């Protein structure tokens, strides 16, 4: 297989991964957890295929580095163009991954906060101001908003 063919396949897969990440972002924003697993599985499948193609490319073209070839002026225009597109897609994917990680962390913090509020904690520290204006550190036995005693 020609180098340009490997690069085109990689570009297609990176576009598919980017689309998965964009859908994942929307699912995280909307809180549609049931759709998340399907998207993650699809993304993992694309990544597996991408890794297989990269391995095959490395076997066919060992020690090939597009940036080095570009510095030496040995890079054909079509390969240079697709190489730039691959870099751009990689950057977009990285940004989307970071965004999705932040959204996931935010969702987990929200869930943990709700669990803490509803379940309470046997011993929690009340960090509120006392009447004299100092930050209090009273220890409450139950900080749940629900009365668990019956």
Residue 149 domain-assigned (yes or no) = no
Residue 146 domain-assigned (yes or no) = no
The Cα–Cα gap between 131 and 124 comes to 20
Residue 132: exposure state from Cβ atoms within 10 A (0-12, 13-18, ≥19): exposed
Residue 150 domain-assigned (yes or no) = no
Mean pLDDT of the chain: 85
Residue 22 domain-assigned (yes or no) = yes
CATH of the domain at 107: 1.20.58
The domain tally of the chain equals: 1
pLDDT-wise least confident of 28-42, 80-94, 106-120? 106-120
Which of helix, strand or coil describes residue 130?
A: coil
Residue 21 domain-assigned (yes or no) = yes
Question: Residue 14 has what pLDDT?
Answer: 98
The Cα–Cα gap between 93 and 21 comes to 7
Find the domain containing 52 and state its range.
3-140
pLDDT tens for each residue of 25-78: 999 999 888 899 999 999 999 999 999 999 999 999 888 888 888 888 888 999
Could you tell me which residue, 67 or 136, shows the higher pLDDT? 67
What percent of the chain has pLDDT above 90?
A: 53
Residue 64 domain-assigned (yes or no) = yes
Question: Residue 72 has what pLDDT?
Answer: 81
The whole-model pTM stands at 0.74
Residue 104 domain-assigned (yes or no) = yes
Question: Residue 97 has what pLDDT?
Answer: 97
Cα–Cα distances (Å) from 137 to 71, 115, 121, 127, in that order, read 63, 22, 15, 5
Question: Residue 138 has what pLDDT?
Answer: 53
Q: How far is CA 68 from the centre of its chain?
A: 30
Which pLDDT band, with edges at 50, 70 and 90, does 142 fall under? low
Q: Is it the case that residue 145 has pLDDT exceeding 60?
A: no
Question: Residue 4 has what pLDDT?
Answer: 92
Residue 145 domain-assigned (yes or no) = no
Q: What is the DSSP letter of 123?
A: S
């Amino acid at each position: 297989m020609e180098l340009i063919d490997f690069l085109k396949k990689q570009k297609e897969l990176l576009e598919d991964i980017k689309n998965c990440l964009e859908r994942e972002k929307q699912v995280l924003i909307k809180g549609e957890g049931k759709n998340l697993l399907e998207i993650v599985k699809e993304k993992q499948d694309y990544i597996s295929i991408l890794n297989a193609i990269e391995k095959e490319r490395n076997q066919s073209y060992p020690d090939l580095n597009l940036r080095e070839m570009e510095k030496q002026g040995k890079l054909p225009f079509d390969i240079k163009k697709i190489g730039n597109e691959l870099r751009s897609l990689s950057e977009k994917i990285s940004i989307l991954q970071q965004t999705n990680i932040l959204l996931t962390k935010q969702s987990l913090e929200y869930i943990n906060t709700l669990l803490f509020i509803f379940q309470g904690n046997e011993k929690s520290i009340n960090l509120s101001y006392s009447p004299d204006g100092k930050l209090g550190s009273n220890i409450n036995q139950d900080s749940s908003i629900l009365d668990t005693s019956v």
